[in-house]
């Protein structure tokens, strides 16, 4: 099986950070597990080593990295939820580099959650756990609602759907981070309307490009400022059928 590239200089230049040898080995193991798992279930189309490094590992970690966004103590016991984690992105790389954080990997597809369970035990990753369910239901459950310091969500729906899935799960003062490819000024208005109704404000929209293929990316940082009204998230399927 192919090896992932190390990219030490790019990690340093773009994130001011370098993985340890242990983390590099864990990234490689994760890659191998996903390539093997892809033979059983559809986990990802991104399978070439460099592409996997860039679009899964680097991209996952870039979203939590910007200096303008202060995530105090993210490495010290913060509760992070990845909504619609799929094969584990961006949540698994985040759990790997912050061993003292507590990462919950939520997905509504049982097979993906079962796959991630095998990854957690293969990597002996004990600061991450899985959660099977729909974000619309989990967001109404007492033990999850407004319980997380940070929510991350990538490739799950349009922006107001992502805001409705994530902001109810975040505590006041916490952050929801929406990972996006393209973003247009025209989308700002609908984002702001949705975020305001959900008890948040748009703190930062960051544009950047990926370091190998120079692809455009955006991350939207939503700060939770007040409690989300109990009417959100709405019932299963409604956020995507009738976005705020």
- Print the binding letters for residues 171-200 with ligand SAM: x by CB under 6 A, - otherwise: ------------------------------
Choices 16-24, 67-75, 106-114, 204-212 (CB under 6 A): range interacting with ligand SAM: 106-114
Which residue in 23, 102, 114, 134 binds ligand SAM (CB under 6 A)? 134
Shorter beta-carbon distance to ligand SAM: residue 57 or 156: 156
From the list 154, 180, 217, 218, which residue makes contact with ligand SAM (rule: CB under 6 A)?
154
Q: What is the DSSP letter of 145?
A: T
Coil, strand or helix at 81: strand
3-state helix/strand/coil string of 84-142: CCCCCCCHHHHHHHCCCCEEEEEECCHHHHHHHHHHHHHCCCCCEEEEECCHHHHCCCC
Q: CB under 6 A: which stretch of 24-32, 34-42, 100-108, 196-204 binds ligand SAM?
A: 100-108
| Among 11, 61, 92, 107, contact with ligand SAM (rule: CB under 6 A) | 107
- Report the 10 Å Cβ neighbour count for 192: 14
Structure-token pair, residue 174: 């916490």
Stretch that binds ligand SAM, among 11-19, 97-105, 129-137, 218-226 (CB under 6 A): 129-137
Residues binding ligand SAM: number (CB under 6 A): 16
For 188-241, give the DSSP string. Answer: HHHHHHHHHHTTEEEEEEEEEE-TTT--EEEEEEEEE-SPPPTT-S-STTHHHH
Cβ distance to ligand SAM smaller for residue 154 or 217: 154
Among 11, 58, 89, 98, binds ligand SAM (CB under 6 A): 89
Paired strand residues for 53: none
Q: Taking Cα atoms as reference points, which of 158, 177, 181 lies closest to residue 166?
A: 177
Residue 6, φ and ψ in degrees, nearest 5: -85, -45
Residue nearest to ligand SAM according to CB distances in the complex:
86
The β-bridge relationship of strands 216-224 and 200-209 is antiparallel
Q: Applying CB under 6 A, does 19 fall inside the site for ligand SAM?
A: no
Of residues 47-86, those binding ligand SAM (CB under 6 A): 84-86
Interface contacts to ligand SAM, rule CB under 6 A: 84-87, 89, 106-109, 112, 134-136, 154-156
């Amino acid at each position: 099986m192919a090896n992932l590239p190390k990219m030490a200089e790019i990690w340093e230049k773009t994130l001011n950070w370098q993985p340890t040898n242990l983390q590099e080995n864990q990234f490689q193991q994760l890659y191998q597990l996903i390539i093997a798992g892809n033979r059983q279930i559809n986990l990802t189309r991104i399978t070439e080593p460099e592409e996997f490094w860039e679009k899964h590992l680097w991209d996952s970690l870039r979203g939590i990295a910007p200096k303008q966004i202060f995530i105090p103590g993210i490495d010290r016991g913060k509760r992070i939820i990845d909504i619609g984690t799929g094969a584990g992105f961006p949540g698994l790389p985040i759990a790997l580099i912050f061993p003292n954080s507590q990462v919950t990997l939520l997905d509504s597809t049982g097979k993906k959650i079962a796959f991630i369970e095998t990854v957690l035990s293969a990597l002996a990753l004990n600061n991450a756990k899985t959660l099977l369910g729909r974000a619309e239901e989990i967001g109404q459950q007492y033990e999850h609602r407004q319980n997380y310091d940070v929510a991350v969500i990538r490739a799950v729906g349009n922006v107001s759907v992502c805001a409705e899935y994530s902001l109810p799960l975040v505590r006041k003062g916490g952050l929801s981070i929406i990972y996006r490819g393209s973003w247009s000024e025209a989308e700002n208005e609908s984002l702001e309307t949705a975020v305001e109704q959900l008890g948040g404000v748009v703190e930062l929209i960051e544009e950047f490009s990926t370091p190998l293929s120079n692809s455009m990316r955006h991350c939207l940082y939503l700060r939770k400022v007040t409690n989300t009204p109990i009417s959100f998230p709405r019932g299963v399927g409604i956020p995507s059928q009738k976005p705020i």
